[in-house]
Amino acid sequence: MVSSARPARGPLWVYSIAWWCLTPLLLVSLLWRAWRQPGYLSAWPERFGWITRRSGVARQLLWVHAVSVGETRASESLVRALAARWPDADLLLTHMTPTGRATGATVFADLISAGRLRQAWLPWDYPGASRRFLARMRPTLGMLIETEVWPNLLAAANRQRVPMALVNARLSERSLRKGLRWRSLIEPALQGLDLVLAQTPSDAARLAQLGRQAVPVVGNLKFDIEPPAAMIARGIRWRECLLSLGARQGVIVVASTRDGEESMFLDAWRQHVGLTVDSSRPLLVIVPRHPQRFDQVVELARAQGWRTSRRSAFGEGDPDLSAAQSDVMVGDSMGEMFAWYAVGDAAIIGGSFAPLGGQNLIEACAVGCPVVLGPHTFNFEQISEDAVSADAAVRVGNAADALAQALALVENSGRRQQVSAAALAFAAQHRGATQRTVASLAPLVERPVSRSA
């Protein structure tokens, strides 16, 4: 049964007026982002809920919202499980960023080509845009991934009697503090959800502080992602080329770096190895989180005097001699993190060396790549602590210590194999969230409520 809770009228009106007042800034921001990533302007009317009306509304529509790349990857096992469990249902996947939408197009290419899945932008949280989106799509069930609680969207879903679930829910201490400042708006929105499923007991406890009590804990969907065999094979092949052509000792991957972190690691790398030519030392691979920064990172490395190569330089082929003999390689491609983890002797996880909360370490563990974490992992707090306790990861205080730990793993094959085995066991131990999530969602799908037009 769809919950009757909805945000208090006063706070929701203030929130809506703020959206209307900020519209000029939103449009300028959209144009600015589109200058760097043209994908932001594609299908832009969808940002206001002007989406092509769905035909065949007699069929069920299962809608999943995954804001960007991380959430899209987290949704993979869920979307595929939904498609298998309800083969006669249509699927809708919405995003907020071009990188998320591009990732979805790649990950779900088979479902899209089969006509099972459609992609769209989630509209900005204007009341009219949310109403329009839901009226045109008429979903049987909406599923928001991780942290996407939008008050006007949830209020519109309540009025149109569309069941809504927050799945794979996480809430850091920092997000909790922000939520408490806006509790009069966030608490009714959380209570208006028909189902909330948390990743960890800590997430459930923080959600309770925001007013959503007794949240079931089902685990993290990201543990159920199967490393693509083709990507693993690609990474193994790259590694063989890099080590044989360059006579390398090994490869250290600094994964999903954010603004400011690359300079930390390049400076620390100079402290460890200097700028002298030595093709036998490990290759340092830096994979920036956001594609609009690829060129910037390449220019930074070259400006510091490093022989720098780019992943894009060898296209669909394998690394050549110039790549193998470079000091630094920039992973300037999307959708290849599993391959990079198969290349590396150790993975240093970006986003955790600046106060940004860290990035996903689960994919590295699933490949058996030892993980090195920085001090800032509040977005993945419980998983990070569990990985360290399981000897699948080590935590350090800065970039220099991270590289020292990674170099030690390159030099000590016995220790590297021990941590690799622990990482694989850690990933396997935490699987099963998808099955539990789908079982919890089934009553909402199989007993759909009546909805207004």
Is residue 71 annotated as part of the catalytic site, yes or no? yes
Q: Is the pTM of this model over 0.85?
A: yes
**DSSP labels for 116-165?**
SEEEEEPPPS-HHHHHHHHHHH--SEEEEETT---HHHHHHHHHTT--EE
pLDDT at position 128 is 95
Strand order in the sheet with 283-288: 308-310, 328-330, 283-288, 251-257, 346-349, 371-373, 393-395
pLDDT at position 275 is 62
**Buried/exposed 310-347: b ≥16 CB within 10 Å, e otherwise:** bbeeeeeeebeeebbbbbbbbbbbebbbbbbbbbbbbb
How large is the average pLDDT for residues 71-79?
95
pLDDT at position 376 is 96
C-alpha radius of gyration, the chain, whole number: 23
Indicate whether 431 pLDDT > 70: yes
CB burial of residue 202 (10 Å; 0-12, 13-18, 19+): middle
pLDDT band at 370 (very low <50, low <70, confident <90, very high): very high
pLDDT at position 452 is 43
Amino acid at residue number 449: V
Indicate whether 8 pLDDT > 60: no
* Domains detected in the chain: 9-23+32-219+432-446 (3.40.50.11720), 229-429 (3.40.50.2000)
Candidates 46, 71, 146, 262; catalytic one: 71
Dihedral class, residue 285 (left if φ above 0, else alpha if ψ from -120 to 50, else beta) = beta
* Residue 295 to residue 394: CA distance in whole angstroms: 30
Q: Are 370 and 253 in contact (CB under 8 A)?
A: no
| Tens-place pLDDT, residues 115-145 | 999 999 999 999 999 999 999 999 999 999 9
3-state SS assignment for residue 418: helix
| Tens-place pLDDT, residues 397-414 | 999 999 999 999 999 999
pLDDT at position 245 is 87
pLDDT at position 197 is 98
Indicate whether 329 pLDDT > 50: yes
pLDDT band at 56 (very low <50, low <70, confident <90, very high): low
Question: Which structure tokens are listed for 172?
Answer: 């850091």
* Residue 47 to residue 380: CA distance in whole angstroms: 29
